[in-house]
Amino acid sequence: MRGMMMDYPLTLQHFLERNRRLFGSKRIVSRTKSGLHRYSCADYVRRVDRLANALKSLGVGHGDRIGTLAWNTYRHLELYFAVPCMGAVLHTINLRLSPEHIAFIVNDAGDRLLVVDHEILPLVERIRPALTTVDQIIVMSDEPDLSDDFLDYEALLAAASDEFIWPELDENAAAGICYTSGTTGNPKGVVYSHRALYLHSMGIAQVDNLGLSESDRVLPVVPMFHANAWGLVHTAVAVGADQILPGPAPTPADILSLIESERVTISAGVPTVWIGALAEIRRGERQYDLSSLRTIAIGGSAPPPSLIEAYRREISVPILHAWGMTETTPVASVCRIKTTMLNLSEEERFDILTKQGPAVMGVDLTIVDDAGNEVPWDGVSFGEIVVRGPWITAGYLHTDTPDRFINGWFRTGDVATIDPEGYVQIVDRTKDLVKSGGEWISSVELEGKIMGHPDVLEAAVIAIPDEMRGERPLALVVARPGATLSKDDILEHLRPQVDRFALPDDVVFIEEVPKTSVGKFDKKVLRERHSTSRNLAR
Ligand code: AMP
C-alpha cells in the first residue's frame, strides 16, 4: 500500500512565499561602507521579485548557472532566493580563492552571468580574459560609476516589474553550487538540490540542531560563499528570523559592534573569527554588550577547548560546536548535552562540549576502517567518518570520484572516534594525522592543548618527515602580543597532558598562522614552509 499524501515539492519557493505572507515586518540589516543598510522583509521579497524579472529579461532560464562574487549583504541574499526560485542555479564563488581557481570554477560550472560586489571588480577584470562561458557581468554597488562593459544591479532592478510568477519546480532540480576549498588539486563542485537545501534548513531549525526560530536575530559571519553560510540564511528566511549581514571583510570589532547594536541572538563562524573576537574583547579598549547572544555556533575546524571555556567563563556565551563539510550542505553534527548526561560533573560535561557531537536528525553517520567495516563506538577506536542522507552529496560536478564513496556512504576524509553515546570526536583529517613509529598522533588534540596556554594566540601542528619514526609533530605557535614564550614553556605545558611520544619534537614561533580562503589554518602552506625545519627537542 502506498501512502496517500500530496507529492508537494520541497523547494526554496516555499520559504520565500512563507516569508512574504508571514514576516513582512521582520528586518534585514547589512553593514556597508557608508553605514548600516536596513529594510523590511516586505521590501526584501519585493526586490527578489524584481530581480527575478530582471534576470529573466537578460535571458536567464531553467538550469542556467549564475555565479556570485559577493560578501554577506542584502543584495547577495536577494540572489540567494531569486536565482533558485526562478529555476536557475546560484553558484556562490569563494572570492578568497586564487584568480586561477576562480576562473577554473566559473568555467567548470559554466556560469552564464556573474554578479559581483563593486569592491571585487579588480579581481573580475583580472580573470575576465580566462572566462569562457560568461556573457555578462552585473555589478552590485551603492555608487554606480561603471563602464559599458558591466550592467548595474540597481538599474536592472529599477527597470523591472515587482510581480513575478514563479515557475513550478522539481524538488530534485539543482538550486545551488559550492566548490570545495580544494587543498589538493582543483576545487570540486557540489551541486545542491532544492530538496537538500529545504531539508537541511528544516534540520537547522530543530531545537536539538541550531534551533533557529522567528525570535532570533541571526548574524552569519560564515561567508555566503562558504557552504551556503551553513544554511543560516535559507533557514532565517523560512522561519522569519531577522538577519544581520556583516558586509565586506568584517573585523572582530565590526562583528562585536554589530552583535551589540543589533541585539544579535545567534552568530556563527570558524574558530579563527572567535579567537580574533576574544582577543579584541580582552584588549579592553572598548566594552561590548553581548548580553543578547544566546549562542555562537562554531565549526569548520576544531575550536580549541580553551576558546569554548573562555566564552563560557569570560563572556557567558555558550558555544555550540558543529561539524560538517561543503559536501554535507554542511551541518551534519551538533554537540548538545543529552538530558541523561546532566548528572555528569562540570568537567565531564565540558569535555563532551569540545566534541563534534552526535549526528543531527536526517544524517546517518558512522566510522569505518579502510575496508569499509564499521569501527566500534567505544570512544577510543578510530576510523574515517562516513555519512549518508538527503543532504549529503552523491558525487561531484564533472568529476568521477568513486574513491570518495564506500558501500553507499560518502567518505569524509575525517578521522574520528565515536563514544557509546554517539558523540563524534574528530582526531584529524586523514592527511593531517601524524604517524610516528607506528603510533598515531592527533594534530587537532595537540593544537587544542597548546592553545590552552594563556600566552598562546594560535597554534598549528604538522607532521615532518623523520628517518627513524616516519613522521614527528612540529608545533608552530603564535604568541599573544606582548608575551614572551619559549619552546620549553610550551613543552612543559604539554608534558603533563599528552603521551611522551606525542610531545612535539620542536616548537617554532611564527608571526601568524596562514589561513585558507575560508579562514582555517592552512596546513599545506605550513608544510611547504616548515617541513625541513628540524631541531630535536628530546
Ligand atoms: P569545508 O568543506 O571547507 O567546510 O571543510 C570541511 C572540513 O572542515 C571537514 O571535513 C573537517 O575536516 C573540517 N571541520 C569542519 N567542522 C569541524 C569541526 N567542528 N571540528 C573539526 N574539523 C571540522
Q: Which of 82-91, 323-332, 492-501 has the lowest mean pLDDT?
A: 492-501
Q: How confident is the model at residue 537 (pLDDT cuts 50, 70, 90)?
A: very low
Backbone dihedral angles phi then psi of residue 63, each to the nearest 5 degrees: 80, -5
User: Looking at the DSSP assignment, which residues form a beta bridge with residue 512?
Assistant: none
Q: Closest by alpha carbon to 464, among 413, 509, 508, 416?
A: 508
Q: Give me the residue label for grid cell 539543482.
A: 174
Q: What is the mean pLDDT of residues 474-497?
A: 94
**CB 412, CB 327: distance < 8 Å:** yes
- pLDDT at residue number 143: 80
For residue 509 the three cell numbers come to 614561533
- Considering all CA atoms of the chain, what is the largest pairwise distance in Å, rounded to the nearest integer? 73
Classify 28 as helix, strand or coil.
strand
180 pocket-lining for ligand 1 (C-beta < 6 Å): yes
Q: Give me the residue label for grid cell 565515536.
A: 418
300 pocket-lining for ligand 1 (C-beta < 6 Å): yes
**CB 505, CB 473: distance < 8 Å:** yes
Q: What is the percent of the chain where pLDDT is above 90?
A: 86
- Report d(CA 148, CA 199) in Å as an integer: 42
Q: What is the mean pLDDT of residues 465-482?
A: 90
Give the pairing type, strands 409-418 and 382-388. Answer: antiparallel
490-430-404 Cα angle (round to 5): 160
328 pocket-lining for ligand 1 (C-beta < 6 Å): no
**CB 41, CB 19: distance < 8 Å:** yes
**CB 359, CB 335: distance < 8 Å:** no
Expressed in angstroms, the distance from the first to the final Cα of the chain is 70
Q: What is the mean pLDDT of residues 169-179?
A: 98
Q: How confident is the model at residue 271 (pLDDT cuts 50, 70, 90)?
A: very high
- Report d(CA 264, CA 75) in Å as an integer: 20
- pLDDT at residue number 534: 52
181 pocket-lining for ligand 1 (C-beta < 6 Å): yes
Classify 159 as helix, strand or coil.
helix
- pLDDT at residue number 538: 34
Q: Give me the residue label for grid cell 597532558.
A: 497
- 355 vs 6, 334, 375, 411, 452, CA distance in Å? 40, 9, 18, 20, 16
pTM above 0.95, yes or no: no
Q: For this structure, is 143 an active site residue?
A: no
Element (H, E) at 67: strand 65-69
- Report d(CA 269, CA 258) in Å as an integer: 14
Q: How far is the CA of 270 from the centre of ligand 1 (A)?
A: 9
Element (H, E) at 386: strand 382-388
Q: How far is the CA of 301 from the centre of ligand 1 (A)?
A: 5
Residue 508: Cβ within 10 Å count:
15
Q: How far is the CA of 277 from the centre of ligand 1 (A)?
A: 20
Give the pairing type, strands 266-269 and 295-298. Answer: parallel
The length of the chain in residues reads: 538
Q: How far is the CA of 71 from the centre of ligand 1 (A)?
A: 21
- Report d(CA 196, CA 391) in Å as an integer: 5
Q: What is the mean pLDDT of residues 268-281?
A: 95
Q: For this structure, is 435 an active site residue?
A: yes
